[in-house]
């Protein structure tokens, strides 16, 4: 009997030892998810800048970034530090797997800070961008593209209801006055921000048709999409309408491209599509748009933005290599020094000009090339998994809308603003080889 008992004793001891380990892993995984989820949603909320009490008139003395927004940003510091302590190996592997172009872009950012006319302001802006970049990258690396986009969709649904309720409850803050009378901005500072955000999130919530049984979540999803259409109409943002139209066309066009076998053939189709789109826009649409704009007494941008660009372009040639300083031309006081118009120009109204002014021409070319290469790579991929294929299409749409919207709006890239987390999530290209090291799905 004693022999039999001794033979089974090690197994019992082994089970006894494994049980605490399993419980520890479960608790650790739960803690990691809570921390990363908090980082992710705080980052999204802070990037949107949604808050109560933003002025309906730009001339009123109220900041775009009130103290609660600063506290939200600073709350990311201990949370990110805690996650680094929980999973240091993953952080190291994430840094090692980064593209060399990312390192070059970071180096360009540091050089622009060193040669900035206001190093302190540039450094603070860089820290803000870095903090708002960590959350989306860490979440995407930990849980993969499909789950990350589903979490982003949940935030989009909540945001749609928040903006509608805010607009109805606080019209004294939500409806812009003065020259912008009647242009609803919801919980955002500007109606163009609301419009771009609504157009991008509408695409994010596609597709809406499913053969499975109807759920309450599907009803919320459809309602949110309807609300975003309402917000686009209320915002009266022509940019949002253009982005929405292009986004829907590209989303369903990508489904057609993904059906072609072979990456070479898909690459040819993509190049052909870009050439055709460029021809149609340059020959047909531009002429019609110019005629419409002139009938309103405006230029092609419908807003007088070219008057701003004409004064900013010569400044690029004065400091073409390092720029004037990271994020410097996102500050209204800097714009007031160099732009003289009949109205206050608080923005460059062009992300590419803004990047060239802030970081120099080489950094702008490198960053834009990096984004375009990622766009083409994602457009020519064809995942076998249906959920991942849909997610890839959404990534393509988001990147393309950012590249297009950047021609008429500032702060679309490398800025702690509204769609920067969306852009990062779409740009990240962590492959199966990285996630498989930690036994996570792609």
Residues 136 and 67 in one domain: yes
Q: What is the pLDDT of residues 273-329, one digit of tens each?
A: 666 666 655 554 455 455 544 544 445 554 567 778 888 888 999 999 989 999 998
Cβ-Cβ contacts under 8 Å for 99 (sequence gap 6 or more)? 370, 429
Question: What is residue 280's DSSP assignment?
Answer: H
Residue 25 lies in a domain: yes
Q: How confident is the model at residue 14 (pLDDT cuts 50, 70, 90)?
A: low
Q: Which candidate, 164, 166, 174, 167, places its Cα nearest to that of 224?
A: 164
Q: How far is CA 116 from CA 121, 170, 314, 356, in A?
A: 9, 41, 18, 13
Reference 252, options 272, 273, 271; nearest CA is 273
Task: Indicate if 275 and 347 belong to the same structural domain.
Answer: no
Answer yes or no: is 48 within a domain.
Answer: yes
pLDDT of residue 13: 52
Q: Could you give phi then psi for residue 125, rounded to 5 degrees?
A: -65, -40
Q: What is the mean pLDDT of the chain?
A: 81
Residue 110 lies in a domain: yes
- Span 198-208, mean pLDDT? 89
Domain termination residue (choose one: 273, 296, 319): 296
Do 292 and 410 lie in one domain? The reply is: no
Same domain, 389 and 426: yes
CA distance 233 to 239: 11
71-75, 76-80, 239-243, 264-268: the lowest-pLDDT one = 264-268
Quick one: pLDDT band at residue 330, thresholds 50, 70, 90? confident
pLDDT digits (tens, 9 = 90+) for 134-172: 999 999 999 999 999 999 999 999 999 999 999 888 887
Task: Examine the domain organization and report whether 49 and 124 are in the same domain.
Answer: yes
Which of 74-78, 180-184, 297-301, 348-352 is most confident? 74-78
Same domain, 283 and 318: no
158 in any annotated domain: no
What is the model's pLDDT at position 435? Answer: 47
Residue 433 has pLDDT above 90, yes or no: no
**Contacts of residue 441, Cβ cutoff 8 Å, sequence gap at least 6:** 144, 146, 435
pLDDT for 280 equals 59
Asked if residue 285 and residue 310 are part of one domain, the reply reads no
CA distance 54 to 47: 15
Task: Return the bridge partners of 244, or none.
Answer: none
Q: What range does the domain containing 288 cover?
A: 262-296
Name the packing angle between helices 386-405 and 361-379 (round to 10°).
Answer: 150
Separation between Cα atoms, residue 10 and residue 2, nearest integer Å? 13
Do 292 and 307 lie in one domain? The reply is no
Domain termination residue (choose one: 296, 314, 338): 296
Q: Are 307 and 430 part of one and the same domain?
A: yes
Count of residues making up the chain: 442
The pLDDT of residue 261 is above 90: no
> Does 213 fall in a domain?
no
Q: Which residues contact 338 (CB under 8 A, 6 or more apart)?
A: 311, 312, 315
Are 326 and 356 found together in one domain? yes
Q: What is the CA radius of gyration of the chain?
A: 24
How many structural domains are present in the chain? 2
Domain check: are 313 and 281 in the same one? Answer: no
């Amino acid at each position: 009997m004693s022999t039999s008992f001794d033979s089974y004793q090690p197994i019992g001891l082994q089970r006894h030892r494994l049980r605490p380990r399993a419980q520890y892993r479960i608790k650790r995984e739960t803690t990691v998810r809570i921390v990363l989820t908090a980082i992710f949603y705080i980052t999204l909320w802070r990037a949107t800048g949604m808050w109560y009490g933003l002025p309906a008139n730009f001339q009123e003395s109220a900041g775009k970034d009130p103290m609660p927004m600063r506290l939200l940003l600073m709350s990311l510091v201990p949370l990110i530090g805690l996650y680094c302590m929980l999973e240091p190996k993953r952080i190291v592997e994430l840094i090692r797997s980064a593209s060399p172009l990312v390192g070059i872009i970071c180096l360009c950012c540091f050089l622009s800070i060193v040669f900035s006319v206001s190093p302190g302001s540039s450094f603070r802006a860089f820290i803000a961008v870095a903090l708002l970049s960590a959350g989306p990258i860490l979440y995407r690396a930990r849980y993969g593209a499909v789950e990350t986009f589903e979490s982003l969709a949940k935030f989009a649904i909540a945001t749609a209801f928040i903006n509608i309720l805010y607009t109805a409850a606080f019209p004294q803050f939500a409806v812009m006055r003065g020259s912008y009378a009647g242009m609803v901005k919801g919980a955002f500072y500007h109606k163009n921000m609301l419009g771009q955000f609504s157009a991008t999130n509408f695409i994010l919530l596609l597709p809406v048709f499913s053969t499975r049984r109807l759920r309450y979540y599907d009803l919320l999803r459809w309602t949110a999409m309807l609300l975003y259409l309402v917000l686009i109409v209320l915002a009266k943002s022509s940019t949002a309408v253009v982005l929405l139209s292009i986004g829907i066309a590209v989303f369903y066009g990508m489904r057609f491209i993904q059906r072609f076998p072979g990456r070479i053939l898909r690459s040819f189709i993509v190049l052909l599509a870009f050439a055709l789109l460029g021809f149609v826009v340059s020959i047909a649409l531009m002429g019609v748009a110019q005629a419409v704009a002139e009938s309103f007494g405006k230029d092609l941008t419908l807003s007088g933005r070219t008057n701003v660009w004409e004064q900013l372009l010569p400044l690029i040639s004065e400091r073409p290599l390092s720029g004037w300083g990271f994020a410097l031309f996102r500050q209204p006081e800097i714009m007031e020094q160099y732009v003289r118009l009949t109205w206050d120009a608080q923005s460059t109204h062009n992300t590419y000009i803004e990047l060239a002014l802030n970081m120099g021409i080489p950094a702008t070319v490198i960053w834009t090339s990096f984004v375009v290469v990622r766009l083409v790579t994602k457009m020519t991929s064809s995942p076998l998994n249906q959920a991942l294929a849909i997610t890839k299409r959404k990534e393509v749409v988001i990147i393309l809308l950012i590249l297009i919207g950047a021609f008429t709006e500032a702060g679309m890239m490398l800025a702690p603003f509204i769609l920067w987390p969306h852009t990062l999530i779409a740009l990240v290209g962590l492959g199966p080889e990285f996630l498989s090291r930690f036994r996570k799905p792609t």
